[in-house]
Structure 1
Amino acid sequence: MTTKTALVTGASSGIGEATALKLISLGYTVYGAARRTDRLQSLAERGLRPLAMDVTDDDSLRGGVDRVISETGRIDVLVNNAGYGSYGALEDVSQEEARRQFDVNVFGAVRLTQLALPHMRSRRSGTVVNITSMGGKIYTPLGGWYHATKFALEALSDCLRVELKPFGIDVVVIEPGGIATEWGAIAADRLEQSSATGPYSDQAAAVATSLRSETMSKRLSPPTVIADTIARAVTARRPKTRYATGFGARPLIGLRRLLPDRAYDTLISRSAGLPR
């Protein structure tokens, strides 16, 4: 049997790293993409094929897909994991930063998918895995642009799933909850850059403290929880369309469905420690 090939973006740490290692353990040929390949060298020693890729650069995306196809002739699994959290009050966040958040979290994932799909269609098989977030179903204070990207990727995934069904290609959405990665610290840093001073400073201080909370960090799920979920999805004969997993994901998504808007506003504001 020909070895299947997987391409995982954002593979240098966190969910991407854990996913790459999991798929290697399952026998896949795995290309791990990141802007800095020096951070992939330890993974290369464990079987990963490092791939330099900037998801905001079309030439970089084309070159990455071309290399995978030239070396293996196929892409069976694409895991769109690259992304970050840009927090800050909507009034404060620059349009430049807002566009970059969409470029990385949405347009990069969609463009890479566009480049991979012809190769999947030619084989009439494949799985596109889009890593959204429980943040694609809920909202948190000062996270407007981040949540907008995740809501957008959820909608795009739904449309894509229907479009690709006739070609035998699955589209799976993974909705992580709180995961022990660098994400929280990066989001807190971005938040302070945008809103540490001015009218939203009190809210920014509270949310940044929450994002960096040691108490909260102890509750977070390890990235392997998401990697294991992705592995189940890509090896299933008929995968689910969505997998919500990791700390808080199912309860918070469930509460968002059940609670009226203003009741959820109160709940999420209190959990973030916002001043009242």
Structure 2
Amino acid sequence: MSSNTKVALVTGASSGIGADTALRLREAGYTVYGAARRVERMTALRDAGVRILGLDVTDEDSVRQAVDSIIRESGRVDVLVNNAGYGSYGSLEDVPLAEARAQIEVNVFGLALLTQLVLPHMRARRSGTVINVSSMGGKLVTPLGGWYHASKYAVEALSDALRMETRQFGINVVVVEPGSIRTEWGAIAAETLKQTSGKGAYAAMAEAVAATLAQSSRPDAKMTSDPSVIGKAIVKAADARRPRTRYRVGFGAGPALFLRRLLPDRAFDFAIRRAFGI
């Protein structure tokens, strides 16, 4: 490997946005480490030249071993893409706090730990880019997604603080805010929602929201974008000498966030209820 070859680490690389991003960074000339718990699902990435790592972002030993392995092999991490995450849906009344903690553990603390371990290496080189994959759901809320949205709001806040903290070291911090993306994420979130709030006081609302979430995972889903739009935006941010602080991409992200800024709270609540048919 050339000493000038940049090194990227992408978490959640076993499918969807993470897999597409890892492949595009590899095509752009990066040495790419694709990390995920389900190593068996990354065969195509390995065949394309991506270096595969087993990684559980909630396991500190696993995270430390992964970073140490990259530094031993490649000596640097130029781009960290914190993409690992999932959506845990259900009413605040129904979701067990153990599940709420698990949601925050993956989406927030996993991101924070990996960032903590990579930053010293970036500071030593006085360069690097941390790209945190948030969501338009980090700026607006939908019903029955309270804990998921709380985790993404936290990602937004941590990223803003980190951007100001690391500027002095030549490190860029970027937030990517996907809109509706055609991946398995929606189907998984819908199933969790039905298990959690599919019976009882919130059943009718859960049925309507789950149907919308599941629809986004269908191969023929309308009003969604392919994961490639996010992968392209991440490569653009990684390549930029001075990237934008936020990239809002994918179906609905721009209009939805514009409406959130424009409308009073109750008017936006009404618009969201209409969108979900509740």
Is contact 1:31–1:51 with CA below 8 Å preserved after alignment?
A: yes
The aligned counterpart of 2:235 is 231
Give 5+ residue unaligned stretches, structure 1: none
Q: Secondary structure at the match of 2:175?
A: strand
Is contact 2:82–2:111 with CA below 8 Å preserved after alignment?
A: yes
The aligned counterpart of 2:254 is 250
Aligned partner (choices 44, 47, 50) of residue 49 of structure 2 = 47
Aligned partner (choices 49, 57, 60) of residue 58 of structure 1 = 60
Give the Cα–Cα distance (whole angstroms) in 2 for the partners of residues 170 and 131 of structure 1. Answer: 14
1:218 Cα deviation after fit = 2.2
Give the Cα–Cα distance (whole angstroms) in 2 for the partners of residues 71 and 19 of structure 1. Answer: 21
The aligned counterpart of 1:31 is 33
1:17 Cα deviation after fit = 0.3
Matches within 5 A, 1:67-86: 67-86=69-88
Is contact 1:65–1:115 with CA below 8 Å preserved after alignment?
A: yes
Give the Cα–Cα distance (whole angstroms) in 2 for the partners of residues 179 and 87 of structure 1. Answer: 17
Q: Secondary structure at the match of 2:243?
A: coil
Give the Cα–Cα distance (whole angstroms) in 1 for the partners of residues 221 and 61 of structure 2. Answer: 38
Aligned partner (choices 201, 209, 212) of residue 211 of structure 2 = 209
Q: What is the letter of the counterpart of residue 229 of structure 1? A: A
Is contact 2:182–2:219 with CA below 8 Å preserved after alignment?
A: no
Aligned partner (choices 128, 132, 137) of residue 135 of structure 1 = 137
Matched, 1:241 2:245: yes
1:210 Cα deviation after fit = 1.3
Give the Cα–Cα distance (whole angstroms) in 1 for the partners of residues 52 and 219 of structure 2. Answer: 35
1:226 Cα deviation after fit = 0.3
1:217 Cα deviation after fit = 2.1
Give the Cα–Cα distance (whole angstroms) in 2 for the partners of residues 91 and 43 of structure 1. Answer: 41
Normalised by the size of structure 2, how large is the TM-score? 0.97
Deviation string, structure 1 residues 52-85 (Cα, Å, up to 9, x no partner): 0000000000000000000000000000000001
The aligned counterpart of 2:11 is 9
Sequence identity (%) = 62
Q: What is the letter of the counterpart of residue 11 of structure 1? A: A
The aligned counterpart of 2:161 is 159
Is contact 1:210–1:273 with CA below 8 Å preserved after alignment?
A: no
Deviation string, structure 1 residues 203-226 (Cα, Å, up to 9, x no partner): 001111111236992221011100
The aligned counterpart of 1:269 is 273
Deviation string, structure 1 residues 64-113 (Cα, Å, up to 9, x no partner): 00000000000000000000011100000000100000011000000000
Give the Cα–Cα distance (whole angstroms) in 1 for the partners of residues 239 and 50 of structure 2. Answer: 19
Is contact 1:226–1:245 with CA below 8 Å preserved after alignment?
A: yes
Q: Secondary structure at the match of 1:217?
A: coil
Give 5+ residue unaligned stretches, structure 2: none
Q: What is the letter of the counterpart of residue 143 of structure 1? A: G
Matches within 5 A, 1:97-108: 97-108=99-110
Give the Cα–Cα distance (whole angstroms) in 1 for the partners of residues 220 and 110 of structure 2. Answer: 30
Aligned partner (choices 215, 220, 223) of residue 224 of structure 2 = 220
1:234 Cα deviation after fit = 1.0
Is contact 1:210–1:216 with CA below 8 Å preserved after alignment?
A: no
Q: What is the letter of the counterpart of residue 87 of structure 2? A: G
Is contact 1:33–1:52 with CA below 8 Å preserved after alignment?
A: yes
Give the Cα–Cα distance (whole angstroms) in 1 for the partners of residues 181 and 232 of structure 2. Answer: 13
Give the Cα–Cα distance (whole angstroms) in 1 for the partners of residues 244 and 120 of structure 2. Answer: 23
Aligned length: 274
Give the Cα–Cα distance (whole angstroms) in 2 for the partners of residues 190 and 47 of structure 1. Answer: 34
Is contact 1:24–1:30 with CA below 8 Å preserved after alignment?
A: yes
1:36 Cα deviation after fit = 1.5
